[in-house]
């Protein structure tokens, strides 16, 4: 019952807020929580390049800052010809909150990739492994 069209529309809109003067690679993400709230994110680059944060992590941080912590689905838009899956760092940050997260990647070229975080990050280390 995820409204993927709506979530993809929100990710598409969020890409416009991306701060990507260095890569010019404008990424948008939108996540839906278990309770149906929507949070969006975009990549935020830095003159000290390595401090850049991806759209996916930005969306997770917006969710936590907004008082929620149970993401159910995330849609990610990249300006590419083929859909791209989240980077390794983002997979681990998504995993902290979204063990059963559903992931939709879509792109300028029109293709889509539907997958799950469990597929993207098998045998993951997570909060349940501590203490």
Q: Does 6 bind ligand THU (CB under 6 A)?
A: no
Q: Which of 87, 109, 99, 100 is nearest to 29 (CA)?
A: 87
Return the closest-CA partner of residue 27 out of 90, 121, 118.
90
Residue 108 annotated in active site: no
12 binds ligand THU (CB under 6 A): no
Residue among 13, 37, 52, 99 that touches ligand THU (CB under 6 A) = 52
> Which residue in the set 54, 59, 62, 117 belongs to the binding site for ligand THU (CB under 6 A)?
54
**77 interacts with ligand THU by CB under 6 A:** no
Q: How far is the CB of 27 from ligand THU (least distance, A)?
A: 4
Catalytic residue among 34, 37, 56, 108: 56
**Residue 28, CB-side half-sphere exposure with 13 Å CA sphere:** 19
Cα 11 to Cα 3: distance, rounded to the nearest angstrom = 13
Applying CB under 6 A, the span of 54-62, 63-71, 96-104, 118-126 interacting with ligand THU comes to 54-62
Among 71, 83, 86, 98, binds ligand THU (CB under 6 A): 86
And the tokens for 96? 């902290």
Q: Which residue has the tokens 């709506």?
A: 6
Dihedral sign computed on CA atoms, order 125, 123, 36, 10: positive
């Amino acid at each position: 019952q995820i409204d993927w069209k709506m979530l993809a529309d929100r990710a598409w809109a969020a890409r416009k807020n991306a701060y990507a003067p260095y890569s010019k690679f404008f990424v948008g993400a939108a996540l839906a929580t278990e309770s149906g709230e929507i949070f969006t994110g975009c990549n935020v680059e830095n003159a000290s390049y390595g401090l850049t944060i991806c759209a996916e992590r930005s969306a997770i941080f917006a969710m936590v800052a907004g008082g929620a912590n149970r993401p159910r689905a995330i849609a990610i838009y990249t300006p590419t010809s083929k859909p791209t899956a989240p980077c390794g760092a983002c997979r681990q940050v998504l995993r902290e909150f979204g063990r059963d997260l559903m992931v939709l990647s879509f792109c300028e070229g029109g293709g889509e990739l539907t997958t799950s975080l469990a597929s993207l990050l098998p045998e993951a280390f997570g909060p349940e492994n501590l203490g």
